[in-house]
Amino acid sequence: MAKTQIILDKNPEIILEELGIKNLSPEEEKEVINTVLEHFNKVIIETVILNLDDNQVDRFKAALERNNFEEEITKITAAVPGLADKIEKAVEDEFALLKKAKGIVS
Amino acid sequence: MSEREPSLKGAGRNSLEGLRELVKREEIKPEGANQDLTPPVAAEKKKTLDDVINLIKKGIIEGEMARKRRGEKKSADLALRDYKEILKKSAGIIRDAGEKASIKSLQEKLEDELGISVGRKLAAGIFNYVRTNLDKEGLDSGETRTSGPEKTSSQGKKAAAGTGTPDRVKTGVGEGKIFNFSQEELDNIVAAAIVRAAGNKASPKLIQEEFRKAGFEINDNLASVLFERAKAKVSERPESEEKPDQETERVAEEIMEDPEFKRDVEEAAEAAGIEGEIDKSKLLLLKERIKGFGKIILSGWKRNWKEFVAGGAAGAAVRTAVRLSFGSSLGLGIAAGAVAGATSGGVREYISQRKKFTAESILEEIKSASDDAKRAAALAKAKEVLDKTRVSGSKEDVEKLADIVREGIVLSKSKAEMTGSQSEKEKIINILKIAEGVREEVPKAEGKRKEILELIEQVEFQKGEIDRKKIARAMVKGAVIGAVGGAVGGAISSWISDHFFAGGGRATQEVVSEARKEFSLVRSHVLSAEIAGKAVKKSLEESQQRLSEKIFHVTAEKGDGLTHLARRAVHDFLVNQKSLNPDAFKSLSVEQLVYSEDTLVKKVTQGLMEKTRSFMTDWSKPSGGSSDFVREAAGQARETAQKAVEEAVNTGAVSVEDVLPPPSKGTNSILENICYQEEMESLPEAKDLPEGIGLSQQTVIEQAAAAKSGNKLSGLPRLRKWGPIVEEMRESVPHQDLTSKANTLMENLANYSKSPSGAGYLENFVRQNGQDLLNSVSEKNYSIPGKSLLDKDLFIQQFRGISGGKNSTFFANLINALEHSPDYLRSVGRFRNVIQSCGFDEKEFAGVANDRAVKFMGKYGGEKVGFFARAGLGPEELGHRQKLVEAMKKMMGDGTIGGKKVDLSKFKVSDFVKFFV
């Protein structure tokens, strides 16, 4: 979970380093980090949902209606084989893509 | 019968008759009457003709057969008349129209004059066929020019007048073969249909009558011949084939269960019925392609799909349709398939063709693109395919394809839309925006699982940012829990495989693969448990087979089997997540899973422990970390695993009990029993006990056993109790640089050899926590938390261990620690805790004042094993203890210590220190 852990830890320094971003003011850094984290959250969400079976999708939908959805979502995703690896790969690939795109325009 | 004989299967609803009935029932007419049909007709001329011819032939016969099966008494006359009359009438219409002849006018005339609605495709087929064969097949009889339906054929009239051959009357509309069937073949087909429909009532006479009703006279001889042939033909077929609809229906139902197929059909229906909601150009194309039959097919589809898919094969038409529809609407394929026969075979063919646009092939195309332009083209095509969900293949391939397309678009857009003059912040924010847009633009769901896409959209766009954070975090947390739960057994077994023979991991993979198939419907955590257990077993079994081929440079120690070691490795893995609370894993279910392989496990050497532990430690690194997240995940993993085992055991899914010894006295759970058995096995032999402890060896054994069995998690699990102690120490002790002491500690550890397994644990533990540990027990300001003293015996035992077994150091540090907790024994509650941990009966100390504690300790200390024995102290330590007891006795007796009068009311532990050290 190396790359995913970076996202979870929300460590600005490491995230910016991963993306090859330098020389940001504190305000800029905050904005960038928030955007990056939000983006990666979506990447994770998509990856997970794509790996749910029909039954899990139904449960997931139901969970979203609850206030304490986190616990139920945790239970659901704990039951998906190999999901941690898939999330890690998706996050890793996304990091690589963003870095590559940035390299193109630099 | 000729090999070209059409199938008699099916209700024929897709036939001309079926179409006509649908038209009548729905009161609809083919669309596009005012459209210019020339271009598409020309393009489809050849194939359409074949299709139409077959359609007519099959439809006539099968439609009639269907009516017969339904018990309708109509004879074959209508069917026979239909196709001939349609063709003849069509020939007349076309001839009359001359240069102005068109498919549209043919359709209109057929409806006006014969009262039937003919679809565009069928009309086109007839139109082209008739125009091509107008002169050479005798269609132009002259009689066809008359208006209104004709009831009999001219040949039939001739036959009736006795101008036909002696035993056979010409029944066709022309000479020789008609529509690929000879007259004789047609006669046989019709006769067979009549016989099959009539069943026992079939006779030559009946055949003759039915033919007559259709306008064709046949003599007795021919009727008899046809009857015999038909009877033989019908009797050739087994009963099951007498009802072809059942099988067809079964196949149809099977196909209809395919969600992709259903979706395609629904989309086709939707596309045909909802104008304005799709792109205009596509709509035009769609209408162009489906007009004339689209509505008929689609409106009837939902109600009559079984009949649509019934019938013979129409593969060629479907293949063509699918190819043509590539680039437009998905539904065209199915619509075309339906009109071309809509057979089960055709539908299968459709699906098969559709799946030809696989992610794999597109990926290959992208990969083999020789230059940027070709690659861009391939990407564009891939995007289009993804957009239209015209792609299938493995889930991984589809997702990979989407990833590639996304990457291509993100990179190209980034290059096109951004400039080098933008600031760092602007660049990355813009890239993220582009990436966001592309993720929306290029769906990743295989086969466009609508509900999946909707769900993603719901979460990604309707939920707030805060919720998304929570959701993503919960997702990852669950994923890690799953990884922990499922990987432990697999990791162990993989290591075993790798260690014992080449190609390691195969056994695990096999088991996991099989298990996933086998247990796909089982609750997932039970599945994990099953997989882990089986993987371990399989690996070990294969390892066992190779044991004789290998030389192991390790030696086994008594009572230290793989089960034990593997369990320890698992423990290490978890403990080495240094922020984890070890106490949370005292009932880790994975241990039980490993235990279930007990019989095999015991044969493996102790070397496995170190190797496995190393493996597990390494393995854990990528997912390691010290955040709360990992701690939570691990805690949840324990609960999940625990639940999994309970369920598995309760349901018999994991036969843990089969391999465990029967429960022993004093234990009440599988886990306790495991621990008990283990402890009993590792108890010292009487001869190994230290001398001079003042107790019989048997008493010591009994005491030790009682102590161990009374502690549910003695041995290994007891060490876990270090966790909370250390945690508290961390909180209460300011950090100081005690590197030198830590080094000393490590040296001592290196010399610590009495208990290799304990040393292993300590080593790992101290590597993580050594400095804090030293810090905590050495600093003067440290105050031992009351609750931690519940584990005082353990504390002492371990303290002794890390002090290198030096008695003086041990006692010095013990007393030193107590000295700095002068108020400790003044609390009855804490005193009671000590009493309990020393193995005394709490009742004897009920209400005892704090100043009596020492007295009681003196009183009981010399007579029972208790505290010191459980601390594992040897004779030397006990010698010190005796001195201590004597000193205490003396103090309590005459109020002196070291010859000096002591004021007991002001007694402090430090007084002992002065005396003793």
Q: Could you read off the pLDDT of B446-457 as tens digits, one per residue?
A: 544 566 767 776
Domain final residue pick, B462, B483, B515 = B462
> In this predicted model, what pLDDT tens digit does every residue of B467-486 receive, in sequence order?
777 777 767 655 554 444 33
Who contacts A22 (Cβ-Cβ below 8 Å, separation ≥6)? Answer: A16, B424
pLDDT at B504 over 50: no
pLDDT at A100 over 80: yes
pLDDT at site B226: 82
Average pLDDT, chain B: 46
Q: Are residues B250 and B228 in the same domain?
A: no
Does residue B693 lie in a domain region? no
Q: How far is CA B850 from CA B43, B134, B178, B266, B377, in A?
A: 107, 124, 118, 84, 89
Residue A6: closest C-alpha in chain B: B625
Determine whether the interchain pair A87/B475 forms a contact, defined as Cβ–Cβ distance below 8 Å. yes
Are B355 and B318 in contact, with CB atoms under 8 Å apart? no
Query: Burial, B829: exposed, middle or buried (Cβ in 10 Å; 0-12, 13-18, 19+)?
Result: exposed
**Degrees to nearest 5, angle at CA B505 with B499 and B511:** 130
Better-predicted residue by pLDDT, B901 or B11: B901
Are B220 and B208 in contact, with CB atoms under 8 Å apart? yes
Question: What mean pLDDT do residues B265-287 have?
Answer: 38
pLDDT-derived band of residue B134, with 50, 70 and 90 as boundaries? low
> In this predicted model, what pLDDT tens digit does every residue of B533-563 receive, in sequence order?
454 445 444 444 433 332 222 222 222 333 3
pLDDT at site B357: 55
Determine whether the interchain pair A42/B445 forms a contact, defined as Cβ–Cβ distance below 8 Å. no
Q: Are residues B417 and B436 in the same domain?
A: yes
Q: Name the residue type at position B175.
A: E
Residue A36: closest C-alpha in chain B: B432
> In this predicted model, what pLDDT tens digit does every residue of B325-342 receive, in sequence order?
332 333 333 333 333 333
Q: Are residues B738 and B749 in the same domain?
A: yes
Interface of B with A in 508-547 (CB under 8 A): 516, 523-525, 527-528
Q: Are residues B632 and B765 in the same domain?
A: no
Determine whether the interchain pair B482/A80 forms a contact, defined as Cβ–Cβ distance below 8 Å. yes
Percent of chain B with pLDDT strictly greater than 70: 13
Q: Which of B407-421, B655-669, B802-816 has the lowest mean pLDDT?
A: B655-669
Are B788 and B824 in contact, with CB atoms under 8 Å apart? no
pLDDT at B214 over 50: yes
Q: Give the single-character DSSP code of B142.
A: S
Give the whole-angstrom CA distance, residue B70 versus residue B92: 34
> In this predicted model, what pLDDT tens digit does every residue of B71-128 receive, in sequence order?
544 333 333 345 556 667 777 787 777 767 777 787 777 767 766 656 555 666 667 6
Residue B439: closest C-alpha in chain A: A43
Q: Are residues B251 and B124 in the same domain?
A: no
pLDDT at site B247: 41
Q: Are residues B629 and B773 in the same domain?
A: no
Determine whether the interchain pair A60/B403 forms a contact, defined as Cβ–Cβ distance below 8 Å. no
> In this predicted model, what pLDDT tens digit does every residue of A38-88 receive, in sequence order?
899 888 888 888 888 878 888 888 888 887 777 778 777 766 766 777 887
**Degrees to nearest 5, angle at CA B53 with B49 and B56:** 135
> In this predicted model, what pLDDT tens digit does every residue of B659-683 receive, in sequence order?
233 333 333 333 333 333 333 333 3
Determine whether the interchain pair A41/B471 forms a contact, defined as Cβ–Cβ distance below 8 Å. yes
Q: Are residues B666 and B744 in the same domain?
A: no
**Residues of the domain holding B779:** 710-916
pLDDT at A16 over 60: yes
Domains: count for chain B? 5
Residue A55: closest C-alpha in chain B: B521
Interface of A with B in 5-44 (CB under 8 A): 5, 8-9, 19, 21-24, 28, 31-32, 35-44
Q: Name the residue type at position B434.
A: I
Radius of gyration in angstroms for the set of CA atoms belonging to chain A, rounded to a whole number:
16
Does residue B382 lie in a domain region? yes
Interface of A with B in 45-84 (CB under 8 A): 45-46, 48-50, 52, 54, 57, 60-61, 64, 69-71, 73-84
Give the whole-angstrom CA distance, residue B38 versus residue B45: 10
Determine whether the interchain pair B472/A77 forms a contact, defined as Cβ–Cβ distance below 8 Å. no
Does residue B564 lie in a domain region? yes
Does residue B1 lie in a domain region? no
**Torsion region of A23: left, alpha or beta (phi above 0 gives left; psi -120 to 50 gives alpha):** left
Q: Are residues B318 and B394 in the same domain?
A: no
Domain final residue pick, B442, B462, B482 = B462
pLDDT-derived band of residue B644, with 50, 70 and 90 as boundaries? very low
Q: Give the single-character DSSP code of B896.
A: E
DSSP string, B570-633: HHHHHHTSTTS-GGGGTT-HHHHHHHTTHHHHTTS-THHHHHHHHHHHHHHSTT---SHHHHHH
Q: Are residues B678 and B754 in the same domain?
A: no
Q: Are residues B410 and B303 in the same domain?
A: no
Question: What mean pLDDT do residues B884-911 have?
Answer: 58
Look at residue B181 and give its three-state secondary structure: strand
Determine whether the interchain pair A49/B459 forms a contact, defined as Cβ–Cβ distance below 8 Å. yes
pLDDT at site A32: 92
Does residue B59 lie in a domain region? yes
Q: How far is CA B688 from CA B625, B701, B864, in A?
A: 43, 11, 19
pLDDT-derived band of residue B487, with 50, 70 and 90 as boundaries? very low
Domain final residue pick, B306, B328, B354 = B354
Name the CA dihedral angle for B890, B896, B900, B901, rounded to a multiple of 10 degrees: 180
Say whether the ipTM exceeds 0.95: no
Q: Give the closest-approach CA distance of A87 to chain B in angstroms.
A: 8
Q: Are residues B312 and B383 in the same domain?
A: no
Q: Give the closest-approach CA distance of B518 to chain A in angstroms.
A: 14
Q: Which of B47-51, B112-116, B245-249, B860-864 has the lowest mean pLDDT?
A: B860-864
**Residues of the domain holding A87:** 2-105
Look at residue B558 and give its three-state secondary structure: coil
Q: Are residues B608 and B737 in the same domain?
A: no
Residue B513: closest C-alpha in chain A: A81
Q: Which of A102-106, B173-177, B275-279, B839-843 has the lowest mean pLDDT?
A: B173-177
pLDDT at B185 over 60: no
CB of B628 within 8 Å of a chain A CB? The answer is: no
pLDDT at B4 over 60: no
**Highest-confidence range of A96-105, B349-358, B570-579, by mean pLDDT?**
A96-105
Q: Give the closest-approach CA distance of B660 to chain A in angstroms.
A: 28
Average pLDDT, chain A: 82
Give the whole-angstrom CA distance, residue B358 versus residue B110: 44
Residue A39 has its nearest CB partner, among B436, B525, B527, at B436
> 């032939």: which residue's tokens?
B57
> In this predicted model, what pLDDT tens digit does every residue of B897-906 receive, in sequence order?
656 676 655 5
Q: What is the pTM of this model?
A: 0.34
pLDDT at site A36: 92
* Nearest Cα to Cα of residue A4 among B782, B553, B478, B407: B478
Question: What mean pLDDT do residues B185-199 have?
Answer: 61
Better-predicted residue by pLDDT, B409 or B589: B409
Phi and psi (nearest 5°) for B3?
-65, -15
Question: What mean pLDDT do residues B333-362 have?
Answer: 45
* Nearest Cα to Cα of residue B528 among B659, B647, B609, B631: B647
Question: What mean pLDDT do residues B380-400 have?
Answer: 67
Domains: count for chain A? 1
**Highest-confidence range of B45-54, B131-140, B687-696, B887-896, by mean pLDDT?**
B887-896
Does residue B719 lie in a domain region? yes
Determine whether the interchain pair A46/B460 forms a contact, defined as Cβ–Cβ distance below 8 Å. yes
